[in-house]
Amino acid sequence: MPLSPSRPGALGALTIGGRRFEWGRRTYIMGILNLTPDSFSGDGLGTDVQAALERARQFEAQGADLLDLGGESTRPSAQQVSVEEELRRVLPVLERLQGTVALPLSVDTYKAAVARRAVEAGAALINNVQGPAGSPAPDPVLSLVAAELGVPLVIAHNHRGTEYNDLLSDVKWELAVLVQQAREAGVPKGHIIVDPGLGFGKSPAQSLALLRHLDELQALGQPLLVGPSRKSMIGAVLEGLPPDQRLEGTAAVVALAIALGADIVRVHDVGAMARVARLADAVARGWRGPQDSPSFPGAGAPGRPSGVAL
């Protein structure tokens, strides 16, 4: 598989929660903190604030670059929760994490009211995984909240159903529409990150096909966040392995996503995937010695993954 074309410096950088993310320099690790009792991956912490703090500290030590807090499960057929319940799960952890970890905090929600309260409590990024029921588009008010509060926004593709005229073309077009809507709401172009939404409105085969063409989504001109961790497409390929046994499968998909241009990978197993990302970056972006380690301020070579001539 050829590596995706280089676009050195094309996407610039973005400051999230006081930390600078230089797109194309290396792959960033987003650690998942599921504050739900019904996570598909079996790692939900519910309302156990102390357990969430311990996991956040662990993720920081293992190499996470930011933490994503979610108070509602987005697995298929999950029961929706009220704004009040989602805030009851998220806000205590957000408040306790202030000063406990130095990482930027993201709130995983599709509700504008939750996003607003979370940002006011310290979240520095809004990660919108899915729109309201019956629509592929995010709540338009959520974009207004991101614009008003000046925080970046992740826009995920979440097609309702799995019927497409042409999978890749449809995903690109729908994401482009969502980006334009966010910009019209006042979100700056440089504050928008896109997520192809693996597993959301896509069969395992469709998710794999979309991943195979991930590099073509660079045409959108936005940083790419990819969330393959423990997803059903991995279980489908690996003979039905349950989510807690999909570590190696996740590692394979993370490495391939990096080779095809992912800027952020959203994962459950931070320590293992940080090591995978470092090695994948060494191949895809080039590695010139210890100075390229993420622990060094000037780590990595700029530019998206470049083609390799043999």
High-pLDDT (> 70) share of the chain, %: 82
Give a yes or no: residue 152 inside a domain. yes
Give the pLDDT score at 37. Answer: 75
- By annotation, the residues acting in catalysis are 231, 266
Give the pLDDT score at 169. Answer: 96
**What's the rounded Cα separation, in Å, for the pair 150 and 148?**
6
Average pLDDT for 269-297: 82
Give a yes or no: residue 300 inside a domain. no
Give a yes or no: residue 262 inside a domain. yes
Give the pLDDT score at 80. Answer: 81
* Residues 6 or more apart whose Cβ sits within 8 Å of residue 68: 30, 31, 32, 33, 106, 107, 108, 127, 266
Give a yes or no: residue 288 inside a domain. yes
Confidence of residue 73 (pLDDT cuts 50, 70, 90): confident
Min mean pLDDT across 57-61, 180-184, 188-192, 284-288 is at 284-288
Give a yes or no: residue 52 inside a domain. yes
Give the pLDDT score at 306. Answer: 47
**What's the rounded Cα separation, in Å, for the pair 288 and 299?**
10
66 lies in which domain range? 13-292
Using one digit for the tens of pLDDT, what is the confidence trace for 139-174? 678 999 999 999 999 999 987 788 999 999 999 999
Average pLDDT for 52-61: 94
Using one digit for the tens of pLDDT, what is the confidence trace for 17-28? 999 999 999 999
Give a yes or no: residue 39 inside a domain. yes
Using one digit for the tens of pLDDT, what is the confidence trace for 226-253? 999 999 899 999 988 899 899 999 999 9
Give a yes or no: residue 68 inside a domain. yes
Distances (CA, A) of 60 to 47, 63, 105: 20, 5, 11
Is the model's pLDDT at 41 over the cut of 70? no
**What's the rounded Cα separation, in Å, for the pair 209 and 281?**
22
Cα angle 84-102-58, degrees, rounded to a multiple of 5: 80
**What's the rounded Cα separation, in Å, for the pair 168 and 172?**
6
Q: How many domains is the chain partitioned into structurally?
A: 1
Using one digit for the tens of pLDDT, what is the confidence trace for 96-125? 998 899 999 999 999 999 999 999 999 999
Give a yes or no: residue 209 inside a domain. yes
Asked if residues 26 and 299 have their Cβ atoms less than 8 Å apart, the reply is yes
Confidence of residue 57 (pLDDT cuts 50, 70, 90): very high
Confidence of residue 36 (pLDDT cuts 50, 70, 90): confident
CATH code, domain carrying 194: 3.20.20.20
Q: 94 burial class (0-12, 13-18, 19+ CB within 10 angstroms)?
A: buried
Give the pLDDT score at 158. Answer: 87
Is the model's pLDDT at 303 over the cut of 50? yes
